[in-house]
Chain A
Amino acid sequence: MTKKITINFTVNGDRETREAIVGQTLLKFIREELNLKGTKEGCEIGECGACTVLLDGKPVNSCLVLAVELDGKELTTIEGLSKNGELDKLQQAFIDHAAFQCGYCTPGMIMASKALLQRKPNPTDQDINEALSGNLCRCGAYQEIREAIKASTKK
Chain B
Amino acid sequence: MADLKYVGTSVKRRDGVDKVTGAAEFIDDRFLGPLLYVKMKKSTVAHGKIKKLDISKAQAHPGVKVVLTGKDYPNKIGLYLVDRDFVAMEKVRFFGEPVAIVAAVSERAAAEAVELIEVEYEELPGVFDPREGMKPGSPLVHENLEEYERVPIFYPVPGTNISNHFKLRKGDVEKGFAEADLIVERDFQLPQMQHVPIETHKAAAHWTPGGKLTVWSTAQSPNVVRQLLAKTFEMPMQNIRIISSYIGGGFGGKAGASLEGLVIPVAMKFPGYVVKIVFNREEDMQGTFTRQGLYSHLKTGVRKDGRITALEYKMIWDGGAYTEYGVNIVRAAGYTSTGAYDIPNVKTDSYCVYTNNSIGGPVRGFGMCEMQWGIERQMEEIAKELKMDPLELRLINGMKDGSTTAAGQVVHNVAFDKCLKTVADKIGWGKTEGKFRGKGISGLVKCPAQPSNASSSAIIRINEDGSAHVMVGATEMGQGMLTAISQIAAEGLNIPIEKIDIKVPDTDFTPYEWQSVGSRITYTCGNSVKMAAADAMGQIYKVAANLLGVPVEDLTFDGKMVYSTKDSNIKATIREVADSCKKCTGEGIAGPIIGRGSFIPSNMTNLDPETGQGNPGMFYCFGATAAEVEVDPETGVITVLQLASSLDVGKAVNPQLCHVQLHGGTIMGLSTALYEEVKFDKGVMLNRNFTDYKISSIDNTPHIDSFLIETPEEKGPYGVRGIGEQPMIGVAPAIANAVCNALDIDVNTFPLTPERVWQAIKAKR
Contacts and interface: CB of A to CB of B under 8 A. Distances in A.
A40 B690 contact: no
A105 interface: yes
B698 A45 contact: no
A50 B696 CA distance: 15
B123 to A, nearest CB: 30
B690 A102 contact: no
A135 interface: yes
Interface residues of A, number: 54
Contacts of A43: 281, 689-690
Given A77-B22, A91-B20, A95-B16, A130 B699 contact: yes
Interface in A72-125: 77-79, 81-82, 87, 91-92, 94-96, 98, 100-107, 110
A142 B15 contact: no
Main secondary structure, interface of A, reads loop
A38 B249 contact: no
Interface string A33-46: 00011111111110
Interface in B684-724: 689-691, 695-699, 701, 703-704
A153 interface: no
A77 to B, nearest CB: 7
B249 A102 contact: yes
A6 interface: no
A141 interface: yes
A102 B247 contact: yes
Contacts of A48: 198, 690
Given A78-B22, A95-B13, A132 B699 contact: yes
Contacts of B103: none
Given A105-B198, A138-B249, A140-B666, A98 B660 contact: yes
Interface in B471-494: 477-480
B196 interface: yes
Nearest to A101: B478
B305 interface: no
A140 B696 contact: yes
Given A42-B198, A98-B660, A140-B665, A132 B690 contact: no
Contact of A87 (B20, B26, B280): B20
A135 B698 contact: yes
Given A132-B698, A138-B251, A100 B664 contact: no
B657 A98 contact: yes
Given A43-B281, A98-B12, A143 B22 contact: no
A64 interface: no
A38 B22 contact: yes
Contacts of B480: 101
A136 interface: yes
Contact of A100 (B20, B108, B479): B20
B19 interface: yes
Nearest to B21: A82
B668 A138 contact: yes
Interface in B177-209: 195-200
Interface in A12-59: 31, 36-45, 47-48, 50
A78 B198 CA distance: 17
B667 to A, nearest CB: 3
A47 B691 contact: yes
Contacts of A100: 13, 16, 19-20, 478
A104 B17 contact: no
A98 B13 contact: yes
B478 A133 contact: no
Contact of B21 (A2, A38, A45): A38
B698 A133 contact: yes
Contacts of B21: 38, 78-79, 81-82, 87, 91
Interface string B425-451: 000000000000000000000000000
Nearest to A133: B699
Nearest to B248: A104
Contact of B664 (A47, A105, A141): A141
B666 to A, nearest CB: 7
B369 to A, nearest CB: 15
Nearest to A105: B198
A67 interface: no
Contacts of B108: 2
Interface string B633-675: 0000000000000000000000011001101111110010000
Interface string A131-155: 0111111111111111000000000
A139 B695 CA distance: 11
A110 B18 CA distance: 13
B295 interface: no
B24 interface: yes
B698 A102 contact: no
Interface of A: 2, 31, 36-45, 47-48, 50, 77-79, 81-82, 87, 91-92, 94-96, 98, 100-107, 110, 128-130, 132-146
Given A37-B29, A94-B16, 7 more contacts: A40-B26, A102-B477, A104-B198, A140-B671, A140-B696, A143-B701, A145-B698
Nearest first, the 5 A-B pairs at minimum CB distance are A38-B22, A104-B248, A102-B478, A103-B19, A101-B478
5 contacts: A37-B25, A95-B13, A138-B695, A140-B667, A143-B701
